[in-house]
Amino acid sequence: MSGTDTSPGLDPQDPDVLSVTATMVNRRGLHARAAARLVTVAEQFDANVEVRRGDQTVSARSIMGLMMLGAGRGESVTLMATGWDAHAAIEALVALIEAGFHEDD
């Protein structure tokens, strides 16, 4: 499963937040095109989704914020979501990350 725990769970710091950790598998990590694809998927859901790497947390709807995380290949990010579609949003975003942002399509 490429180092990704795909079972969204409750964030221990905020039990109202679903969270899951995913590992970048694509060659260039979370670069501009990958960030744009992540934003496109995140915007499809009625959920507030944030992405955390280390001590930085950004909106999953911010291309620049996502790029500033600097998540490279093999590095992990934590996806956190609240809202009606939180579970579906997390599942779709994990699938996108595990598919390497479809860069080889």
pLDDT (mean) for 80-91: 95
- Residues in CB range of 34: below 8 A, 6 or more apart: 26, 28, 101, 103
Is the pTM higher than 0.75?
A: yes
Could you give the CA distance from residue 105 to residue 69 in angstroms, rounded to a whole number? 25
- Considering the candidates 8, 20, 22, 31, report the single residue annotated as catalytic: 31
Predicted confidence (pLDDT) per residue in 24-62, tens digit: 999 999 999 999 999 999 999 999 999 999 999 999 999
Query: d(Cα 105, Cα 99) in Å, to the nearest integer?
Result: 10
Q: Is the pLDDT of residue 8 over 80?
A: no
pLDDT confidence tier of residue 98, bands split at 50, 70 and 90:
very high
Task: Judge whether 102 counts as a catalytic residue.
Answer: no
User: According to the model, what pLDDT value does residue 50 have?
Assistant: 98
- Are the CB atoms for 69 and 95 separated by under 8 Å? no
pLDDT at 1: 37
Domain boundaries defined on the chain: 9-102
**What is 9-102's CATH number?**
3.30.1340.10
